[in-house]
Amino acid sequence: MKNISRILSLTITKEYYRQNAVFIFAVMMFSFGFLRAEEHKTIIKSALNMPSLLVLIFIGWTLHALKVILFSLRMFEAKNNEFLYNIRLFSPLKRYLALGLMQLSLLQLTIIYSLWMIKIGLEQNKFVETIAIIGFNIFLVLMGVIVYEYRLKHPNAVRVSAKPIQNLISRFNTPSYLFFVQYLFAKQPVLVLLSKLFTCFVLVGVCSLYPTDAYDERLLALGGLFAAAGHTVLCQQFFYYENQFLSFSRNLPLSSAQRLLGYLCTYFLLLIPEFVILIRSLPVGVSYLFALQLSIFILSMVLLNHHTQYINSVSVDIYLQRLFFAGILFLLLIMFKIPVILMALVNFLLAIFVFHKNYYESPPS
C-alpha cells in the first residue's frame, strides 16, 4: 500500500497543490489574512448553534471535494498517467486505503478546519453537531474513494454529451470572443461553477465584513485581488484551449488591437457575475465610482494573469511563481493605499507590452 500511496501522491496530490498554489494562497489570505482567530471562533460557534449555517459550511466543503475529485479524474484520464490503471492489480483493501489517503491529503485544508470545529464543539458540549461534522468528513472521503474506484474499473466510460444544446448553439454564428466561454460551459461547467462560487463568496464576504469594523476601501480592494486570483484556473484553461484548438489563429490577419479586444471581451463576460455581486452588495458609504474602479482593477488583473502565460509558457512552475510574488506585491500596494485605478492602468499597459513582446514567440504548450 505504501508504494501505491507514494505513486498517487507524486502524480495527483503533488500536482494538485502545484497547479492550485495561487488558489490556495488566495483562500489562506482571505481566511487568515484579515480574519482574526476570535472571528473564526465566532463563526464556528455560530455554526454549531445554527444548523442552517452548518449546512452552508457543508455545502462549501462539498464543492471543494467536488473540485478535488474532478481534478483527480482529469489526472487519471491524462495520457501520461495511464499507468495508474494498473493499480487495479492490487488487492481491493490496498486500493481503498491508498485512495482514501489520497483523498484525505487533497482535502486537508477543510479537514484541518473541521478538527478545529470538532475541538470547539466538544468544549461547547455540541455532541450532535460534532458527530455530524465527523460523519460528513468521512462521507467526503468515502465519496472520493467510490468515484476513483469506479474510474479505475471503467477507464473508457462513454460520456454523454449535451447534443440538443450543441445543435441549438451551432445554428448561430458565434463571435470569436465567445469561443472560450462556449467551450467552458460545454466542457468545464463544474469548474466555472466552483470558480464563480469562490470569487462571489469572497466579494460578498468582504462587503458584509466592511460595516462591522473600522475598515476602509482597502478591504474591498483586497477582496478584488483575491477574486482576480480565483480566476487563475480559468486563465490556465483559456491558455490551454487557445494552444490546443486555436493555434491557427496566430496566422490570421488580425491586428494586435483586435486580438487584445477579443481577450478583453471574453474576460469581461466571464466577470459579469462578480460585477453584479459587487454592485448589489456594495456597502453603505462606498461610492459607485470606487466600485467601477475596482471592477476595472479586477478585469486588468485577470487580463494580465492571462498574458503572463506567454512568457516562458512551457514552464508552469515559473508562471505560478510569478503569480505568487505578483500577488504579494499588489497586496503591499493596496495596503499602502495606492489607488486601484492607477494599478489597473499599469496592469493594462503591462498586459499590452507582454502581448506585443511574447505572443508570437510563445510556443504552443
Please check whether residue 327 is in contact with residue 22, taking contact to mean a CB–CB distance below 8 angstroms.
Answer: yes
Report how far residue 122's alpha carbon sits from residue 114's, in angstroms, rounded to the nearest whole number.
Answer: 12
Whether residues 81 and 179 fall in one domain: no
pLDDT in tens, 186-200: 877 877 888 888 888
Whether residues 10 and 102 fall in one domain: yes
Whether residues 298 and 352 fall in one domain: yes
- Residue/partner pairs of 319-324 with CB below 8 Å, 24 or more apart: 320/18, 320/19, 320/21, 320/22, 323/21, 323/22, 323/229, 323/232, 324/21, 324/22, 324/25
Residues spanned by the domain of 90 = 1-159
Whether residues 207 and 307 fall in one domain: yes
Helix 217-229 and helix 288-307, axial crossing angle in degrees, nearest 10: 30
Residue 52 corresponds to which cell in the numbers above? 442552517
pLDDT in tens, 341-359: 999 999 999 999 999 888 8
Global confidence as pTM: 0.68
Report how far residue 351's alpha carbon sits from residue 252's, in angstroms, rounded to the nearest whole number.
Answer: 21
pLDDT in tens, 236-279: 889 888 888 888 888 888 888 999 999 999 999 999 999 999 99
pLDDT band, residue 158 (cuts 50/70/90): very low
Whether residues 219 and 332 fall in one domain: yes
How many domains would you assign to the chain?
2
Would you tell me how many other CB atoms lie within 10 Å of the CB of residue 261?
Answer: 13
